[in-house]
Amino acid sequence: MTSNDKKIKIGLLGVGTVGTGVVKVLTNHPVLEIKKIGARDLNKKRDAVIKKELLTSDLKSIINDPEIEVIVEMLGGLNPSRELVIEAIKNKKHIVTANKDLIATHGAELFDLARENNVQIQFEASVCGGIPIINTLKQTLNANRFSKIMGILNGTTNYILSEMLNRGISYEQCLKEAQDKGYAEPDPTNDISGKDSAYKLSILASIAFGERIKINDVYNEGIEKITPNDIAISEDLGYRIKLVGIAKKEEDKIDIRVHPAFIKKTSTLASVFGANNGVLIEGNLIGELTLIGAGAGEFPTASSVAGDLNMLVAHITSAKGPNPQFVCKHTHYAKIKPISETTNSYFVRLRTDDKAGVVGQVGTIFGKHEVSINTLTQRGSNPDSSASITILTHLVKEEKLQAAIKEIEKSNIVKQVENVIRVFE
């Protein structure tokens, strides 16, 4: 699309945390223009980026606006979201939604209707905020046959369990803190009970296994009964307690459930801490793959919404030429920073004579080249009566470190610079 072409107009339903993030991300978008923003309360204090003239409390005026091609639904819950999305689809508008309750509960009805009306529903933001799990399953990994989806799908409960582990404090105290910090919803019932995870898991399993799943068939059990004692014992046994959603394909049935579980401390999902989410996928071609990241929040979730919008833009504009997401759009070459200009910490291992003054001379050369030493250790005498000196430096430009190494090599202080390895902090 050229700058002279008309922009694609979109309407937003809901402008809470995620909606505000979407408005910020779409500012100055080359192709998309927000025409209307639906809010239930026009007088609520809002971020300055929300232009007052775009706001309306008449949500139906957005879905009935003939100029608007895409509706972004961020109201959450089922009412009035379901009714509005249905009407928008009947009005031939594409849908982008962050609403897991809606997709998990009414997905079958909405997808059938979208097919009949030849429009798309994109819902990357509905599961695990910023983690690109839906389109990864639907597109990138679509050559796989999936056998398992397992995940930590709720940030609130993962935060609570992480804090109970780190500080040995009670479930009730952690929940209160999660609410005070704004991680948990004011009514955290669905988070705590595992229902929020069940919504997300049913969406993922449905895509992975290619079958519809009724949300009420998904067993869910919450974390209310977990005590600091359970957590301490699980750690002693080599496990960690997490609220886990698991869906496995077993012959003609799907085993799908959400409940607290002991998982091995050494497993990747056991390292998902705080409000983060993690999803493990098992496919016949990729084996196991785990995605870990922010499962909620303004910008991570807006990233998924905006990504879906850009995909829709590509779909809409590809009617006029090649799909813009599948063509190379740039022709210039990037400027690459030479390794000598990079900044790193370094591990340096030297073999030296085991005699007085060596460490001092090494330190003097490093200091001359502005390489600051973090730790220096001499590890005993070697069989040939030489000594191993290992040094960890603070951050320093590569060219300074290399100049110091060159001077050390040229001097007769050390027998050999045995290794230099960059350290990522």
Task: Specify the residue, 121 or 160, whose C-beta has the smaller distance to ligand HSE.
Answer: 160
Backbone phi, then psi, for 412, in 5-degree steps?
Answer: -105, 25
Q: How far is the CB of 277 from ligand HSE (least distance, A)?
A: 7
Range in contact with ligand HSE (rule: CB under 6 A) among 11-19, 151-159, 373-381, 406-414: 151-159
CA angle 31, 138, 262 (to 5 degrees): 120
d(CA 1, CA 24): 22
Q: What is the CA 325 to chain-centroid distance, rounded?
A: 22
Is residue 154 near ligand HSE by the rule CB under 6 A? yes
Q: What's the rounded Cα separation, in Å, for the pair 247 and 146? A: 10
Query: For ligand HSE, which residue of 11, 19, 107, 295 counts as binding (CB under 6 A)?
Result: 295
Q: Which residue has the tokens 């459930």?
A: 257
Distance in Å, CB of 291 to ligand HSE, minimum: 15
Q: Please, which residue, 107 or 283, has the CB nearer to ligand HSE?
A: 107
What's the min distance (Å) between Cβ of 188 and ligand HSE? Answer: 8
What is residue 29's three-state secondary structure?
coil
Evaluated on CA atoms 69, 75, 78, 83, the torsion sign reads negative
By CB under 6 A, the count of residues binding ligand HSE is: 8
- Return the residues of window 163-202 that contact ligand HSE according to CB under 6 A: 185, 191, 196
Closest listed residue to residue 161, CA positions, set 262, 236, 67: 262
Stretch that binds ligand HSE, among 52-60, 152-160, 385-393, 408-416 (CB under 6 A): 152-160
The nearest distance, CB 175 to ligand HSE, in angstroms, is: 12
What x-and-dash track marks residues 196-235 binding ligand HSE by CB under 6 A?
x---------------------------------------
Dihedral (Cα; 172, 74, 23, 45), 10-degree rounding: -60
Q: Closer CB to ligand HSE, residue 38 or residue 155?
A: 155
Question: What character string, x for contact with ligand HSE (CB under 6 A) and - otherwise, covers 377-416?
Answer: ----------------------------------------
Question: If you write DSSP's letter for every residue of 170-236 in order, what string do you get?
Answer: -HHHHHHHHHHTT-S-SS-HHHHHTHHHHHHHHHHHHHHHTS---GGGSEE--STT--HHHHHHHHH
Tell me the CA end-to-end span of the chain in Å, nearest whole number: 43
Q: Which is nearer to ligand HSE, 279 or 401 (CB)?
A: 279
Q: Is position 253 annotated as part of the catalytic site?
A: no
Query: Which 3 state secondary structure label does DSSP give 52?
Result: helix
Q: Which is nearer to ligand HSE, 65 or 191 (CB)?
A: 191
Binding mask 335-354 for ligand HSE (x = CB under 6 A): --------------------
Q: Which range touches ligand HSE (CB under 6 A), out of 24-32, 59-67, 154-162, 359-367?
A: 154-162
CB of 81 to ligand HSE, least distance (A): 14
Contact with ligand HSE (CB under 6 A) among 208, 296, 362, 365: 296
| DSSP string across 144-180 | SPEEEEEEE--HHHHHHHHHHHHH---HHHHHHHHHH
Q: Where are the alpha helices (DSSP H) in 237-357?
A: 298-317
For residue 392, the tally of other CB atoms under 10 A from its CB is 14
| DSSP label of 37 | E
Does residue 151 touch ligand HSE according to CB under 6 A?
no
CA distance 28 to 409: 55
Please identify, using beta-carbon distances, which residue of 183 and 346 lies nearer to ligand HSE.
Answer: 183
Pick between residue 73 and residue 191 the one whose CB is nearest to ligand HSE.
Answer: 191
Q: Of 120, 122, 156, 303, which one interacts with ligand HSE (CB under 6 A)? A: 156
**Helix then strand then coil, % of the chain, to nearest 5:** 40, 25, 35
Residue 192 vs 405, nearer CB to ligand HSE: 192
| Least Cβ distance, residue 184 to ligand HSE (angstroms) | 7
- The radius of gyration computed from the CA coordinates of the chain, to the nearest angstrom, equals 28
Q: Which of 36, 200, 242, 249 is labelled catalytic? A: 200
Least distance (Å) from ligand HSE to the CB of residue 116?
Answer: 29
The residues binding ligand HSE (CB under 6 A) are: 154-156, 185, 191, 196, 295-296
Q: Which residues are catalytic?
A: 200
